[in-house]
Amino acid sequence: MPLISSCEVDTALELITGKWKPSILLALINGDTLRFSELKRSLPNISQKILTAQLRDLEEQDIIIRTVYPEVPPRVDYRLSEYGKTLIPVLETMNAWGIQHAERMRQK
């Protein structure tokens, strides 16, 4: 078993946890390119300010790519970067563990 460092685990968790980042990543996980308004619709309880901040953070970490089209009105869309796609197995593993844990807690 590889040596696990809490520092690196904390770094990874900080990147993908929080109230909205997992939902944003899951909205983009199928390879879809979504406009800001489509992301907002898929997350109806998030404020525009928080969505913007979370998207900027994910963009700064090279997880998503933001593309601005020089149109009037401006069009902006988001997609997972190639680097961001490396999170897919992590999210799938976390989902599988979550299913097992929920079942375990139901049986308890």
Give a yes or no: residue 1 inside a domain.
no
Give a yes or no: residue 87 inside a domain.
yes
Domain count, the chain: 1
Give a yes or no: residue 19 inside a domain.
yes
* pLDDT tens, position by position, 2-20: 666 677 888 888 888 888 9
pTM above 0.75, yes or no: yes
Q: How many CB atoms lie within 10 A of CB 78?
A: 22
Residue 96: pLDDT above 70? Answer: yes
The pLDDT value recorded for residue 2 is 63
The pLDDT value recorded for residue 13 is 85
**Segments forming the whole domain that contains residue 30:** 6-107
CATH code at position 14: 1.10.10.10
SS3 state of residue 49: helix
Backbone φ and ψ of 78, nearest 5°: -135, 145
Over residues 29-39, the mean pLDDT reads 92
